[in-house]
Amino acid sequence: MRVLGIDCGSERTGYGVIESDGGVHRLLASGVIRTNTKWPFEKRLLEIACGLRELIREHAPQAAAVEEVFFAANVKTALKLAHVRGIALLSIAEAGMQFAEYSPLEVKMSVVGYGRAEKSQVQLMVRSLLRLPQAIESEDACDALAVAICHATHEATRLLTGAQP
């Protein structure tokens, strides 16, 4: 299964595309869609949407996954994140892809085995699970890959157990 993981952000939206059978994961692409903070917010959202659509066209993932919205102390930041997340969900729906969302706790449990893992532990395990010679430089891309790995693992388990999506 080919999975697109997305780490939503209005300045930097991380992405990661993997090929996985649920146990063995292979990196296809990762990076960050960057926006210019001086641009009007709607132009930044358009840039993110265009970037995600291009990734979906180029890599043809069957599924996409994002983290669930988490509590943020800053309401303005939370609203911007929600807008970016809406753009991501729209891009996924336009492509007719399977969609899943996971809490940060679920992602960390799936990748590290501990729900309160530190970012450095997630980075180390993403590198290990993808058998990469070096760490992913961008935290945003690494987080997106962790979400993709989480989905691939959950989907493989679901298929093995015959559970409903």
Give the chain's end-to-end CA distance (angstroms, integer): 15
Active-site option among 94, 118, 137, 140: 140
For 27-52, give the DSSP string.
Answer: EEEEEEEE--TTS-HHHHHHHHHHHH
What is the residue type of 42?
Answer: E
**Does the active-site annotation cover 19?**
no
User: Is 143 in the active site?
Assistant: no
81: Cβ–Cβ under 8 A, 6 or more apart, which residues? Answer: 8, 9, 10, 69, 72
Tokens of 46: 């358009």
Report how far residue 56's alpha carbon sits from residue 36's, in angstroms, rounded to the nearest whole number.
22
Measure the CA–CA gap between 78 and 76, rounded to whole angstroms.
5
Can 7 be counted among the known catalytic residues? yes
The catalytic residue among 58, 67, 106, 139 is 67
The catalytic residues are 7, 67, 140
